[in-house]
Amino acid sequence: MVSRIAEYEHDNGDSGVYWMFNDDLDGNDIDGDADGVFTQSNTILVDLSTLLSVNLGRQLSMMSTYKVDYIEIQLLNKDDAEGDNESALSVSGQVLYWSPTQHRVEAMQLARQVEKLKESAEIDGDSWLLATEVDYKGMRFNWSADDQVKHATSESFSILTGQQWDMLELMQVYGQMQGFGSTVATNPLWFSRTGGLDKIGFNCNYHNYTRTTGANNYAPESQPWRFDKPLEVLGGLIAIDFTHSSVDSSLNLVDDEYLVQVTVGVTGWSDF
């Protein structure tokens, strides 16, 4: 079991749980939207390979499938010297991940082959064959853009967007290589051989005060979201995307702000 409070960006530490997108720009917390629908992205990325590497004292690979049997998302009060958490917040969204399929695993293996071929003809300080630096050679993928995970692998496939490998673009490019449903049949129900992300809906709440008829009713309560069914997570990346919230309360002088704590149970992993 590993548990962390989401930090602001991965380079601030080795937690493995951090805000990939946050509508407060440099924030590490979340507050409700006035209308209950977030118009900008608020997404936490969970990097299991980093979490477990720190926890176990060994280098864990992204070229693996991680077996997860527990996920918990919980709001925590934030002490920001404003004394503003005076009512409650409810947030909802989706937990996103890639489950392993033959095509998705092959896509990641092809990316590794591209890097091996490039490095085999490249001699520099961190060459794969002979080097002056001690580096782990394992492939590391971002979620959807550059600089989303620590030590992401630089792309030698120059036609791709950005400078580093990411899972979303890899699946899109591999899918194009394999052809689309509309090219093999006149009535397809599928679009790409790599398919789409697996998604699980969630909702969690934190209540401090509730107020009725002008009187304070002190009834604190935390209602985390828990999922305890077995999952297989390709590459060990899980995104927690917040899409909705409770609406602003007329009782709040300042928006309530909450930290997000994520707990994940991992039963094992298998490399490929």
Q: Is position 137 within any domain?
A: yes
Number of compact structural domains in the chain: 2
Structure confidence by residue, pLDDT tens digits, 227-261: 999 999 999 999 999 999 998 776 666 777 899 99
65 and 118 both lie in a single domain: no
Domain shared by 92 and 106, yes or no: no
Mark which of 125, 155, 184 sits at the end of a domain: 184
133 assigned to some structural domain: yes
pLDDT at 93: 98
Residue 186: what pLDDT?
Answer: 83
- At residue 149 the predicted structure's pLDDT band, cuts being 50, 70 and 90, is very high
Q: Are residues 15 and 92 in the same domain?
A: yes
Does residue 147 sit in the same domain as residue 205? no
22 with 62, same domain: the answer is: yes
Q: Are residues 90 and 222 in the same domain?
A: yes
* Domain boundary pick from 119, 149, 184: 184
Q: Looking at the structure, tell me whether residues 6 and 91 fall in a common domain.
A: yes
Task: Indicate the pLDDT class of residue 84, thresholds 50, 70 and 90.
Answer: low
Residue 225 lies in a domain: yes
Query: Would you say residue 196 lies in a domain?
Result: no
Q: Strand 231-234 relative to strand 64-77: parallel, antiparallel, unpaired?
A: antiparallel
User: Which tens digits make up the pLDDT trace of 171-216?
Assistant: 999 999 988 877 878 888 988 999 999 999 999 999 887 655 555 6
- Both 113 and 80 in a single domain? no
Instruction: Give a yes or no: residue 87 inside a domain.
Output: yes
Whether 195 is in a domain gets the answer no
Residues 81 and 139 in one domain: no
Do 77 and 205 lie in one domain? The reply is yes
Task: Give me the pLDDT at residue 259, please.
Answer: 95
Residue 214 lies in a domain: yes
Give pLDDT tens digits for 18-30.
Answer: 999 999 877 899 9
**71 and 113 inside one domain:** no
On whether residue 124 sits in a domain, the answer given is: yes
Give residue 256's domain range: 2-98+201-271
- What pTM was estimated for this model as a whole? 0.90
- Are 143 and 116 part of one and the same domain? yes
